[in-house]
Amino acid sequence: MLFNSFSFAVFLPLALALYWSMQKAPLKMQNVFLTAASYLFYAWWDWRFLGLIVISSSTDYFCGIFIHGSVTDRRRKGFLLLSLVINLGLLSFFKYFNFFVDSFAHLLSELGINQSIHTLRIILPIGISFYTFQTLSYTIDVFRRKIEPTRDPAAFFAFVSFFPQLVAGPIERASNLLPQFFRRRSVDYNLAREGCRQILWGMWKKVAVADFVASAVNLIYTNPGNKDGLSLWIGSFLFGIQIYCDFSGYSDIAIGTAKLFGFKLMRNFAVPYFSRDIPEFWRRWHISLTTWFRDYVFIPLCGGADHKPGRIRRILAVLGTFTLSGFWHGAAWHFVAWGFLHALFYLPGMVFRRRKLERAFHPGSGGIREWISIMATFIAVTFAWIFFRSPTMSSAVSTAGRVLNPAMFIMTENAWLHSHALGFLPLCLMVLAADWFTRKRECPLFALENWKRPFRWAVYTLVLWSVFYHLPQPDVNPQEFIYFQF
């Protein structure tokens, strides 16, 4: 079920009405209901893959208990390994099997060995990367003795499958989300109001901006070999806006929806395009994934939280973490290259910075130098998007070559394309301006808090009707969120 579909518009109020009318029922009943609602939400897409969620949830539920109950380290490690093998095994099979087979076949042909190797027709189960990471983090945290395992299956299954964040995050940590399933949720007017605002803003970003801008991006990235350097830069800039609005829009809707049920999810985006360097960008972009990779990949690669690694080891850890992060996004070399490129952009700041800069989290006080840093970071991120958006590695390399070649800017036959694509500029600037002026808040609409109700509602009404204005035509299905494919 898509958040931007009619079925979700019916599902959400019904689920909410039933959920809140069970307030006097035992907490366990509410959690069972949430699990059932989440499974229905997922099954709307394809019920056959519900089994994977059940396998993943059961594995980690029992592994958590067994790890905690094990006396010897060997047994503890054994159960952790079991969880890793099952979860990563499912992920690898469904997401990476064909990639490895293809890459192996390609390698053989490069070596002059011609073998006909067949791939399987595997459907990628939606959200598998997200819930696998979420449930894995629970087991690893139990193993690290950071949290106690739960013996309440209703709460745990609800935690893994909680529908607002099931298919595209935020990837919640058990330490934040799981305890919320043990507390009685009470109706909170302010929280519900915040949730509605966040859903509205997320819908606007997704429907009115991301899906709208996508038409220009698709136009430019269809046969990029025919486009000049300027068109490709514009395309990459627009894609940057598209993916930001698509994914942060999804996160806003997820967080807002969770608030309607009385849950607080972690923030996933914090004005990333106003970052002053790449490390800061990654503290602001897809925060739940970045922190996951930091805690479960980067820190172990550095030798653990208590270990101070040398410079070389840290560099290797950064390269490894980002490359793996790129691979997490998609089973293709251009995603790996995207991750690696970000690692290269990340390293100078880490290697050459003499001391850790103590910066305010919110930019806006550093004057012209700060703006230059923001612009430079933005350009680097925009360049890297080429690798993310291109359909193949060779296309990405060719496009990157064209945008860096000054000779490619003198082509004039794409003048129409420039004017067409630049028509989207006001909308993009509006998104960036909204982010900038409300950068200290989780959602731009929260900035209206102190406005008088008629003015506030006038803005909400404008935003809402702008969403309706951009709804797809009746014979066109609503566009999926980009991150669903990961």
What string marks each residue from 109 to 148 as x (binds other proteins by CB under 8 A) or -?
A: ----------------------------------------
**Using CA atoms, how far apart are residues 244 and 414, in angstroms rounded to an integer?**
26
DSSP-based three-state secondary structure for 7: helix
Q: Which stretch binds other proteins (CB under 8 A): 61-69, 145-153, 386-394, 453-461?
A: 453-461
- The least distance separating other proteins from the CB of residue 465, rounded to whole angstroms, comes to 5
Half-sphere exposure at residue 303, Cβ-oriented, CA atoms within 13 angstroms: 11
Q: What is the 8-class DSSP label of residue 123? A: P
For residue 390, what are the CA distances in angstroms to 126, 247, 398? 21, 18, 10
In terms of Cα–Cα distance, which of 91, 96, 116, 92 is closest to 106? 116
- The least distance separating other proteins from the CB of residue 479, rounded to whole angstroms, comes to 14
Cβ-based nearer residue to other proteins, 406 or 474: 474
Q: Which of 82, 460, 480, 484 touches other proteins by CB under 8 A?
A: 460
Q: Which of 329, 334, 362, 420 is catalytic?
A: 329
Residue 61, Cβ neighbours under 10 Å: how many? 23
> Token pair of 445, please?
């609409």
Q: Which stretch binds other proteins (CB under 8 A): 264-272, 313-321, 392-400, 461-469?
A: 461-469
What string marks each residue from 13 to 42 as x (binds other proteins by CB under 8 A) or -?
A: ----x--xxxxx------------------
391 residue type, one letter: P
**Using CA atoms, how far apart are residues 336 and 124, in angstroms rounded to an integer?**
18
DSSP class per residue in 269-315? -S-GGG-SSHHHHHHHSSHHHHHHHIIIIIHHHTT-TT----HHHHH
What string marks each residue from 160 to 199 as x (binds other proteins by CB under 8 A) or -?
A: --------------------------xxxx--xx--x---
- The least distance separating other proteins from the CB of residue 12, rounded to whole angstroms, comes to 13
329 labelled catalytic: yes
Binding residue count for other proteins, defined by CB under 8 A: 27
Task: Establish if 468 lies at the interface with other proteins (CB under 8 A).
Answer: yes
Q: Which of 466, 479, 480, 484 touches other proteins by CB under 8 A?
A: 466
Cβ(343)–Cβ(321) under 8 Å?
Answer: yes
Residues forming the site for other proteins (CB under 8 A): 6, 17, 20-24, 186-189, 192-193, 196, 457, 460-461, 464-466, 468-474
* Catalytic machinery residues: 329
